[in-house]
Amino acid sequence: MPLATLDRTPPPFFKQGPSAFTRLMFFSALAIFLMVADARWNMTQPVRAAVATVLNPVQQALLAPSRAWDQLLHYFAGMDEARAVQARAQHLVTTQAERVMRMEELARENARLRALLALRPRIEVATSSAEILYDTQDPFTRKVVIDHGGSQGVVLGSPVVDETGVLGQVTRVYPLTSEVTLVTDKDAAVPVVNVRTQQRGVAYGTAQARGMELRFMAGNADVQVGDTLQTSGLDGVYPAGLPVAKVSQVDRRADSAFARIALTPLSSPDSTRHVLLLQPASSQMPERPADAASGAASAAEDKGRHGKGAHHGTGKSAGAASAATSGARP
């Protein structure tokens, strides 16, 4: 092949285009033109909107991992904050509940104390307030211990009442505390009178349940369910007119001469905290004329002795009397 027929042009790989400086100037002028055109006539705004619309799914797909990670961190941070808020709220609720319970207890205690203060003017004996400390450990008795004793002037046999009625009687006195036997104790007895009929009786405590019963009442006695029993004041311990119990059941048996009458005490030792101590009613009763009775008895004995000696020593007595008379004259 002759050499003249050979193509001496460079292959496309080595083909040279416009120079780099030419391209720089062209693209710089194009950029300046586009910026001026966009600033003046907003020519590229539709292009931007179209490109943004096309690239939006790609952007969302690329941002999904970052957003998921941020949401995961925010979730765990929110969980920790929620737990902390819940703990603070629970603590606040517990504190408020404790305060509410304390306020309710104080309100009940205030109501009881007001009732005790209102009860004082109706009682004509000396009173003093006390607080129940605890129940005794004996399961077969119904006794409580109060915080007043002999050093506070408590005497044996002092009645104990609360705002609802008779609670019991002081049976043991210590220097700083006292033991009170409740009216529901099996060995307790309170003379009572029926408010409706004015019939007297004696209310006893029962060992089976924490109640009372009215014993030795005739089977045909006028006692009805709901009757209120008060202290009669005949025992010299309880002042008259203090509420004791209500009749809860009346059982008139044909095989017995006495009716079985169950009572519900008006006092509530299980829920009572503050009580009133009363002086026994015998402290205000007038003393028995023991001196006059003994004087009358001794006078009768002297009269008897003088009557016997009158038959044997009449002359002697007359002589002594005349001697005493003559000696008394001047």
Where residue 204 sits, what CATH number does that domain have?
A: 2.40.10.340
Output the CA–CA distances (angstroms, integers) from residue 63 to 71, 72, 75, 76, 77, in the order listed: 12, 14, 18, 20, 21
Tell me if 225 sits within 8 A of 248, measured CB to CB: yes
**What is the average pLDDT across 50-58?**
87
Higher pLDDT, 146 or 306: 146
Percent of the chain past pLDDT 70, that is, above it, reads 75
Which helix (H) or strand (E) element contains residue 106? helix 45-119
Higher pLDDT, 224 or 138: 224
Helix (H, G, I), strand (E, B) or coil at 264: strand
Integer Cα distance of 273 and 171 in angstroms:
19
Give domain status of residue 234, yes or no. yes
Higher pLDDT, 155 or 94: 155
Mean pLDDT of the chain: 78
Residues 69 and 111 in one domain: yes
Residues 63 and 149 in one domain: no
Give domain status of residue 328, yes or no. no
Residues 196 and 61 in one domain: no
Looking at residue 137, the DSSP 8-state letter turns out to be S
* Band of pLDDT at residue 323, cut at 50, 70 and 90: very low
pLDDT value, residue 117 = 65
Tell me if 205 sits within 8 A of 184, measured CB to CB: yes
Give domain status of residue 209, yes or no. yes
Closest CA to 221 of 242, 198, 203: 198
Residue 185, pLDDT above cutoff 60: yes
Backbone angles phi, psi at 10, to 5 degrees: -70, 150
Residues 147 and 76 in one domain: no
pLDDT value, residue 92 = 82
Q: Report how far Cα 165 is from the mean position of its chain's Cα atoms.
A: 19
Residues 130 and 278 in one domain: yes
Written as six digits, the tokens of 23 are 């391209």
* Band of pLDDT at residue 298, cut at 50, 70 and 90: low
3-state secondary structure 191-259: EEEECCCCCEEEEEECCCCCCEEEEEEECCCCCCCCCEEEECCCCCCCCCCCEEEEEEEEECCCCCCEE
Higher pLDDT, 193 or 43: 193
Q: What residues does 228 pair with on adjacent strands?
A: 246
Q: Is 59 left (phi over 0), alpha (psi -120 to 50) or beta?
A: alpha
| pLDDT tens readout for residues 70-127 | 888 888 888 889 989 888 888 888 777 767 777 776 777 777 666 666 655 555 677 8
Give domain status of residue 297, yes or no. no
Give domain status of residue 63, yes or no. yes
User: How many structural domains are present in the chain?
Assistant: 2
Residues 112 and 169 in one domain: no
Please tell me the total number of residues recorded for the chain in this structure. 330
**What is the average pLDDT across 315-327?**
36
Give domain status of residue 154, yes or no. yes
Give domain status of residue 308, yes or no. no
pLDDT value, residue 15 = 57
Residues 151 and 277 in one domain: yes
Residue 310, pLDDT above cutoff 50: no
Show the domain range for 216: 126-283
Residues 235 and 257 in one domain: yes
Residue 327, pLDDT above cutoff 70: no
Lowest mean pLDDT among 121-125, 147-151, 249-253, 269-273: 121-125
